[in-house]
Structure 1
């Protein structure tokens, strides 16, 4: 019989749920003429009557010789006898494959029957199934969005291998290749061991003294965990016998970890238990994300806008969550310390959450107690554990800059990946810093993600930093210096503010010098630290009060050292009246102050000043929009590109709603003028969105700020803050 369908004549040997589903999918799509062979005559009859196959067949010469593809869907222990039956009649150009969940035993059976595995025999295994069995359980959609593993052998025919890939894709599977031994160890861990545990748990509890009450009061968790104990016992007996070595290796590993958990319970070691539970939760969440991406793809992000009405006034008293930059670094320093650290007022949202999750994925126990209070059980500078998956920094450049140097100092290889715009961002200066210091990091073309980090000796982090070093690059250099064999010396103009020095000294890191900064690496010590209010939110709310008539706002726990000192020196020059209400206190010299409505004056910032205030330029530029007279900002084009991009987006928005901003000879000129209002597109930049909200509050007719997803990720309670202060702002999807 000659068949012109894509896959020709296909024989399914074993019309169970897997074999029947494969046949039904091909048949419904008209991709093959389907034959079925099964020792159970009733299954063959049902297969034809339910439309799963076209013809029943026997494993005789007439059938085998006309087949283009033969798929063995029998129990793994039956493979040898089926192969022996097929062997005398098998054509060399017929693709012979299987769907067994163990590959080593199948290859061994083929080798025993044929003397050596033939070139047209290519094993395979779909990662799909259900507890049901038999041809009546056949589901033509069973393999869609599921993985199918192909395990080619050294002598496999490449054309037939390509055909097998196309065959699996035809039934909707995502196909990957894997060697036989690796497959069996992976499946022993991901599939075989869970079934063994489920069977054993149910059997143990069924024979317990209180078995009736155990089953009577068991909740959903017991049902979900033990669901797979309803699978075919004969099949799983055969699987464990066929994959004995890999299963035992995985079982031994689990037994060791179970013994550790038992000891943690005996010793009431809550930190160890919490660490296991958080790492396990992270691993399962990672698995669910992968599964979701395979089944439905990446979800479409909703566009979120914030509308700001005119004629608001802000009043009251507020303390903001901790400074984001300090939160990132404090979490990392505490994780690398010896001992336990207690951190207060930590910002645990947005990008900081990404850094914290990465640390948890690498074995750091971080306990949360609400309102930004965390307890971190440090693992030491080189005590991080290899994560189960690549470290994903998502779209957080800050997380990348701070995590990459500490990964370079660990004793395990790791891959760092990202998402969105970060994938197309070159990190030339960061990579130059790392490789110049002896770190082993490879990247995608053009110095872009993903990065692969392998263990290496960090020799020295001395010299001048590449380019015009951003605060993130400076932090990278400081963290990398913790792993250097000798003291690190940074020459030239490097901005290490008092906040950074204070944070590092709190964990036992010694720094000295200014023009030539010297960092002495030593073991880190756990610390107790309360972080000051986030400075971006402090300046934003202070300028809101200054711009809106009738406003009077008190802001608490604000750091007056480092970047804060510079800003609080600048604001009075713009006409802002700051009334300090307390003396400096604590590690970060925090104070409270009150600010009210005032008439602003234009400012002129030199390139050096623009560099110093670079993180706050969008807010300062908006203040200049409403100031009397002209303002100018020099040297913006000399900053790293993302600062310039930020300001370009801001200028476009201001001019769009009636402001007056002009670039002249590389200098930004702003003429004070109250804009009419309208639509503002932040282009997904959180700092631009924050500045546009400030701009909108004083526009004559208010404004709508588009693309606010990022700022609401960074400050999830932003709408709540606005309402509490009295700003008429609302979120719209």
Structure 2
């Protein structure tokens, strides 16, 4: 018997089928062990040696077993007791014994029956990998790469051998996780065993149907994909179901109950219930595919996108822009919490709003898209959301986090919120302070960062002034939080509530009284039909294009003229802009058509109060100042949150790089009217800076290219189409 000095020494595979053979072949090709194989089928052993899967055939005798460092049982689960009984007299206490069976309770029971109690060197395991093929000729050394291997250690398992088992699975490329035996069997009954049972049963039922020949003859790809696993080894799966009887029956009962509900929905013609099941199922399936893709490929690299702008003489036409992004978030959430059906028109369903919509769908809300920017939301009520199957991922959307967090705090189920990229390192101190003011049970990572973990709590009414600098998002968080307390919510803020936001909440039956000391009350949240006004960022961008490009005349439909839009227009008037409102105010948001045309511009100023209120638009206004005669001054910029100042710094670098003139002077942003020549502009991946640079490029003497625009196009995927309608000459390229 060879005494190998390789990392894992002598390894015996008992059962040289596809799983056992793949394990052996991977270790052998990497030179990590000397491989022995034992199998009741002599032909498989011969093939194993001749095809290079194992080094030596072996018997389950003392000479073999006593010299093994690792023994892997890859036999059917019902054969485990017999194999363990056969090798028991010869196993050393230092030999790691493990298995690859898909049920763990029966394997542990077999070990207990043979040994009296499962020995410390026996540690069960199960790779989540396989194929319909069987036998040693199906051995694939890459089978386990980027697949999970579940280890189910017992309370008294040898820690050194447990560590060795972890290293063994990682050596064949698996991602190792630990799980207790009972939990493993219930999880696998749902994720693996039940699908096989359904596939076998469906194929058998259809094969014995009256029209079986035509059924199979005309079956399409969906039938092939769903029933693929019915080609698996029948003996193995018979043993699995007998070994995991209780967990399989529990899962099967759950499925049959839901199948009966679906049958009744079809009988009743209940399309909403069916659509709800299909929507939730699609959401869960998409989540599974995302996890699988991440495990297989890792996080995809984001492709950089640039937009080139040629000098444009003028823009013109009549344009209706997609709805306001911030209102779209709020409208979807309120419609989900309402009783009844809401129809929302001109909703922005791109970028961050998709994050909010997906989170609601993950919690059981049916959102039906029935036209560009139009959705029908079937409200579930304040307490009607369902626990998602995975953490809610807000990706890089701070707005989604601010607006979903108070809703999650009021639910009757625990839930975790995770994020990505820069959002993971952003502290949300003020949001957490607001939640804890209402006695929400929320725990964050260090420094008030994501992830957040919510557990059910009896929320109390808010009191006092909102924490931190006033913001529209935090005010909306406070309003949403107030919907989950028994009494009217009361809080104070130094910021006036935007009239559009107030109008939106009122449409769903939420009364907000007061100007800076607010009282929030509602008898019931009811469904609503709304047409959202144009997005303010896109509207301002389009208006400024018309103002700075000679010969331009533009009409924008569905613009709401109150709130911050009034403040913006006051600033534009100060700069010499020309515009007029057409028609009578319409709808909940009092929208009108805005006509704007080119005007020679003069320098203007922003007070600290205006800079704060218009902080989201400062980058665009700074570009306007580049094309104004004289020296414009923006005060209060250093007092804005750090990321606003970061945007301004990036903007300054770009403007100065292509021949403009912006500088800081004692905390004041000084912008000298000086039309730039053109060139390359790097937005540093910020969508608001990219939008400002596109505006800047539109009147550069030689045009310009704005780089790193992928986030802007994620937020406004039809940007090129909008530019074409306006007459702006630009092209997108990667």
TM-score computed with the length of structure 2 as normaliser: 0.99
Distance in 2 separating the partners of 1:492 and 1:720 = 40
Question: Matches of residues 263-278 of structure 1 in structure 2 within 5 Å?
Answer: 263-278=264-279
CA contact (8 A) 1:484 1:521 kept: no
Question: Matches of residues 687-706 of structure 1 in structure 2 within 5 Å?
Answer: 687-706=688-707
| 1:14 is the counterpart of 2:15 | yes
1:406-449 C-alpha deviation (Å, 9 max, x unpaired) = 00000000111111111111111111111121111111111111
CA contact (8 A) 2:498 2:564 kept: yes
User: Following TM superposition, by how much is the alpha carbon of 1:288 offset from its aligned partner in structure 2, in angstroms?
Assistant: 0.9
- Matching residue of 1:579: 580
- Matching residue of 2:165: 164
- Matching residue of 2:45: 44
- For the residue of structure 2 that corresponds to 1:25, the secondary structure is helix
CA contact (8 A) 1:96 1:121 kept: yes
Distance in 2 separating the partners of 1:126 and 1:646 = 48
- For the residue of structure 2 that corresponds to 1:463, the secondary structure is coil
Distance in 2 separating the partners of 1:193 and 1:11 = 31
| 1:320 is the counterpart of 2:307 | no
1:208-260 C-alpha deviation (Å, 9 max, x unpaired) = 11111111110000000000000011100000000000000110111111111
Distance in 2 separating the partners of 1:438 and 1:386 = 21
Distance in 2 separating the partners of 1:186 and 1:513 = 52
Distance in 2 separating the partners of 1:206 and 1:57 = 43
Question: Matches of residues 165-564 of structure 1 in structure 2 within 5 Å?
Answer: 165-564=166-565
- For the residue of structure 1 that corresponds to 2:466, the secondary structure is coil
CA contact (8 A) 1:381 1:523 kept: no
1:659-681 C-alpha deviation (Å, 9 max, x unpaired) = 11111121111111111111111
- Matching residue of 2:134: 133
Distance in 1 separating the partners of 2:418 and 2:125 = 30
1:29-83 C-alpha deviation (Å, 9 max, x unpaired) = 1110111101111111111111111111111111100000000000000000000
User: Following TM superposition, by how much is the alpha carbon of 1:371 offset from its aligned partner in structure 2, in angstroms?
Assistant: 1.4
Distance in 1 separating the partners of 2:603 and 2:271 = 57
CA contact (8 A) 1:25 1:171 kept: yes
Distance in 2 separating the partners of 1:607 and 1:288 = 48
- For the residue of structure 2 that corresponds to 1:204, the secondary structure is helix
Distance in 1 separating the partners of 2:290 and 2:640 = 37
CA contact (8 A) 1:510 1:520 kept: yes
Which 4+ stretches in 1 moved above 3 angstroms?
Answer: none
User: Following TM superposition, by how much is the alpha carbon of 1:312 offset from its aligned partner in structure 2, in angstroms?
Assistant: 3.3
Distance in 2 separating the partners of 1:332 and 1:272 = 20
- Matching residue of 1:113: 114
1:73-105 C-alpha deviation (Å, 9 max, x unpaired) = 000000000000010111000000000000000
User: Following TM superposition, by how much is the alpha carbon of 1:494 offset from its aligned partner in structure 2, in angstroms?
Assistant: 2.5
Q: Which is worse superposed, 465-474 or 100-109?
A: 465-474
CA contact (8 A) 1:312 1:726 kept: no
TM-score computed with the length of structure 1 as normaliser: 0.99
CA contact (8 A) 1:486 1:521 kept: no
Q: Which is worse superposed, 356-365 or 609-618?
A: 609-618
Distance in 2 separating the partners of 1:653 and 1:431 = 36
Distance in 1 separating the partners of 2:41 and 2:292 = 36
- Matching residue of 1:634: 635
Distance in 2 separating the partners of 1:166 and 1:310 = 61
CA contact (8 A) 2:602 2:628 kept: yes
User: Following TM superposition, by how much is the alpha carbon of 1:450 offset from its aligned partner in structure 2, in angstroms?
Assistant: 0.9
CA contact (8 A) 2:152 2:180 kept: yes
CA contact (8 A) 1:722 1:728 kept: yes
CA contact (8 A) 1:341 1:378 kept: yes
CA contact (8 A) 1:468 1:639 kept: no
User: Following TM superposition, by how much is the alpha carbon of 1:654 offset from its aligned partner in structure 2, in angstroms?
Assistant: 1.3
Question: Matches of residues 709-724 of structure 1 in structure 2 within 5 Å?
Answer: 709-724=710-725
User: Following TM superposition, by how much is the alpha carbon of 1:605 offset from its aligned partner in structure 2, in angstroms?
Assistant: 1.2
1:538-578 C-alpha deviation (Å, 9 max, x unpaired) = 11011101111111111111111222222223322211111
User: Following TM superposition, by how much is the alpha carbon of 1:521 offset from its aligned partner in structure 2, in angstroms?
Assistant: 4.2
Aligned length in residues: 733
User: Following TM superposition, by how much is the alpha carbon of 1:177 offset from its aligned partner in structure 2, in angstroms?
Assistant: 0.5
Distance in 2 separating the partners of 1:522 and 1:381 = 12
CA contact (8 A) 2:342 2:527 kept: yes
CA contact (8 A) 1:682 1:692 kept: yes
Q: 1:382 to 1:442 in 2, by over 3 A?
A: same
Distance in 1 separating the partners of 2:492 and 2:213 = 74
Q: Which is worse superposed, 635-644 or 353-362?
A: 635-644
- Matching residue of 2:599: 598
Flag structure 2 segments of 5+ consecutive residues without an equivalent.
Answer: none
User: Following TM superposition, by how much is the alpha carbon of 1:492 offset from its aligned partner in structure 2, in angstroms?
Assistant: 4.0
CA contact (8 A) 1:482 1:522 kept: no
Distance in 2 separating the partners of 1:631 and 1:599 = 15
